[in-house]
Amino acid sequence: MSKKRRKRVLVKFSGEALAGKDGYGIDTQVLKFIANEIKSLVDNDIEVAIVVGGGNIIRGALAAKDGIIKRTSGDYMGMLATVINGVAIQEALESIGLEARLQTAIEMHEIGESFIVRRARRHLEKGRVVIFAAGTGNPYFTTDTAATLRASEIETDFLIKATKVDGVYDKDPKKYEDAKKLDELSYDRALNDDIRVMDDTAIALAKENKLPIIVCDMFKKGNLLAIINGDYSLCSVVKDKKGEEK
């Protein structure tokens, strides 16, 4: 009899979230919290991959806004920022006894492995957490797109976007008191109504691969495990309008 496949997820963290209250740099207490949340998944026999942004250090588009730095160079700077965050997360995971591997889309052998999809899958099968850094390795693509791409390549059950809010709203809840939380919406609605779940490229890629996107509050303890176990009460789900999932 073939062995039943374990659940496999990719969690995408924003770089800004790592900054904590300071708004920049890396807050080690946030790292510790994230590491323990990931450990709860591994302890429950769930295969976990991670993508992290670099906005706590630099954003490529913003670095290039006045024309002194070219957009391509700015984006490469942003990719390097994600590597810094990836190293930090790897260290945090290993400090609590987890095995972790950092894979980068740009070759830097002294820091991490080059991204090879078969090797990434093998690490996951062995219970190691895999951190994907340096985005897609190409300028003009966000880490949201990188997360969707990697999740599709390693065939995750779904992609979790862990943010500072508890889901997707029809408008910015920080600006509008009447903003309504959307518990479930289709890829098409997210695209057509310009609901900023992720950038359009990421959503279109998720739609093509029927990859459900779950948006949740990363700072609520136990939230990731609850979601993976089927509790969607504290998140929003973006999926095919027919409810089809892999």
Domain-located, residue 192 = yes
State the total domains in the chain.
Answer: 1
Domain-located, residue 40 = yes
71-95 vs 28-42: helix axis angle to the nearest 10? 70
Residue 123: pLDDT over 70: yes
Distance (Å, whole) CA 145 – CA 196: 13
Domain-located, residue 158 = yes
Alpha helices in 104-142 (DSSP H): 117-125
pLDDT at site 98: 98
236 pLDDT tier (thresholds 50, 70, 90): very high
Domain-located, residue 246 = no
Query: How large is the average pLDDT for residues 96-125?
Result: 98
pLDDT at site 115: 98
Domain-located, residue 85 = yes
Question: Taking Cα atoms as reference points, which of 106, 131, 112, 125 lies closest to residue 18?
Answer: 131
Q: What is the span of the domain harbouring residue 115?
A: 8-239
Q: Each residue of 45-55: pLDDT tens digit? A: 999 999 999 99
For residues 60 and 41, the model is more confident at 41
Q: Each residue of 125-141: pLDDT tens digit? A: 999 999 999 999 999 99
Are the beta carbons of 188 and 134 closer than 8 angstroms? no
pLDDT at site 243: 44
CA angle 74, 77, 78 (to 5 degrees): 90
Distance (Å, whole) CA 175 – CA 84: 32
Distance (Å, whole) CA 243 – CA 226: 20
Query: How large is the average pLDDT for residues 202-213?
Result: 96
**Contacts for 43 with CB less than 8 Å, ≥ 6 apart:** none
Domain-located, residue 3 = no
pLDDT at site 242: 59
4 pLDDT tier (thresholds 50, 70, 90): low
Residue 19: pLDDT over 70: yes
Domain-located, residue 131 = yes
Query: How large is the average pLDDT for residues 197-220?
Result: 95
Domain-located, residue 173 = yes
Where residue 202 sits, what CATH number does that domain have?
A: 3.40.1160.10
